[in-house]
Amino acid sequence: MAVFLLCMGAFFLKSPDAYLNPQFWAEDAVIFFKQQWNHEWPRILVPYAGYYHLLPRVAAWLASFFPIGLAPALYNLTALVVASASIAYFLQRLSSVSLALVAFLGLFLTPTNGEVFGTLTNSQWFVQFFLLAACFLPASASHLRWIMPVLVLGGALTGPFSAMMLAMHAVLLAASRLPQRWQLTSWVSSFVSALDPWRLIALWAGGLTQIGVALSASGQKPVEFSLHTILSAIAGMSQTHTFGMRLMPAILFLGLLVLILLLILHGNLSARLKGLIVISCGVALLQIAFGSIKPKLMADVLGVGDRYFVLFKVMFWLSAHIALSRFAWLGGSRALMAIVLCVVLVAANNRSHLVRAPLPDIHWTEATRSLPADREAVIDIHPRPWTLTLPPKE
């Protein structure tokens, strides 16, 4: 509970106006609120952007029982609880205070444009942390044994992340067939065999469902990947979103990432943590790769597309800490101090990009107090100049 409250406080500080002056943001209004309008049941089978959004759909349905003026507040509070619970669970499952501290700082003290904080739409980017911890850092049998697969399925049907995770899980399943004498993969078999089968079934069920929805989506343009574009995003844009600037040439940063991974795989780290690092880093890179094919949604500036780098930033600092700890002259405590100092320096250099800028008040409550009964209502929302068009209430 203490970790949950700490995360809740940190999320509040990242976007305080989302709770002190709650307002709708983008798809919260034009997708989840509008598509629930005039419907009695949750629209959980209505995909958006090529996949299902189970948690936002259920939240929108529950909020529909309350006065319309409270809708933004209910959406944002739901986002706060979901994000806080997801990150708190992830931190606790790391089973190490130093690892949890680095992950916490990597999330809350790295530069951001604030788009992922304080909105129900973007809470899915934090749900992925719950999925990673629940499926690939499973706890021993407990009273939650049969509840967790249900929660995993709910998370898997919220966002495209389960599809990426099952792809990485499939890679490790294949790697577990390699000769055990290979040091780089000798740990894979024990990692794969220790995972909870029921949680994996739930993950695969949700992931395959999301893939099916994406493949059946009508009007979707064929995805065109460019290796140059993907590598540029990983080696260049990821520096901007992690450090607030490009610290080194792209080729050197790629080399650094490879070196960090090799140090982790060759070290005496437990198979449990090696597996988490490999799968999480793979999912993070897949997110950047898919984001790179949408140049309007992701750019080499902090103001655009920061959501694609949320997982990367956390895993970069976490992996860097583990890699540094391998050097005997540094040791665990000195490595931790070095990483904490680096993150603090990055934060100090990006003070203007640590908190989401307050949104101008567009007076949602006043605008929705007396909606016309005979015609559509057009209401301003954020980001400007977005608007929400509502038909008469039936």
Question: What pLDDT score was predicted for residue 310?
Answer: 94
What is the per-residue pLDDT for 264?
A: 87
| CB-side neighbour CA atoms (13 Å) of 220 | 14
The answer to whether 67 touches 368, Cβ cutoff 8 Å, is: no
User: Hey, is 382 helix, strand or coil?
Assistant: strand
Alpha helices in 217-247 (DSSP H): 227-232, 238-243
Question: Residue 389's beta-bridge partner residues?
Answer: 378
d(CA 96, CA 289): 30
Query: Shortest CA distance to 155 belongs to which of 218, 221, 203?
Result: 203
Mutual orientation of helices 97-108 and 310-324 as an angle, nearest 10°? Answer: 140
Please give the full DSSP string across 72-133, using - where no structure is assigned.
HHHHHHHHHHHHHHHHHHHHHHT--HHHHHHHHHHHHSS---STTSS-SGGGHHHHHHHHHH
pLDDT of residue 55: 96
- In whole angstroms, how far apart are CA 4 and each of 7, 8, 78, 88, 369? 5, 6, 14, 5, 35
Per-residue pLDDT of the chain (394 residues; tens, 9 = 90+): 899 999 999 999 999 999 999 999 989 999 999 999 999 999 999 999 889 999 999 999 999 999 999 999 999 999 999 999 999 999 999 988 999 999 999 999 999 888 899 999 999 999 999 999 999 987 766 666 789 999 999 999 999 999 999 999 999 998 888 776 665 677 888 899 889 999 999 999 999 999 999 988 755 666 666 777 888 888 888 898 899 888 899 899 999 999 999 888 887 888 889 999 999 999 999 999 888 777 665 555 666 788 999 999 999 999 999 998 877 666 678 888 999 999 999 999 999 899 988 989 988 888 888 888 778 888 889 988 889 988 888 7
pLDDT of residue 236: 86
**Residue 155 near residue 127 (C-beta atoms within 8 A):** yes
Distances (CA, A) of 122 to 5, 73, 329: 20, 15, 41
- What's the pLDDT score for residue 266? 84
Nearest alpha-carbon partner for 324 in 312, 309, 341: 341
Q: Is the dihedral angle over the CA atoms 266, 268, 269, 272 positive or is it negative?
A: positive
| pLDDT at residue number 371 | 82
Q: How far is CA 371 from each of CA 25, 73, 269, rounded to the nearest angstrom?
A: 20, 19, 60
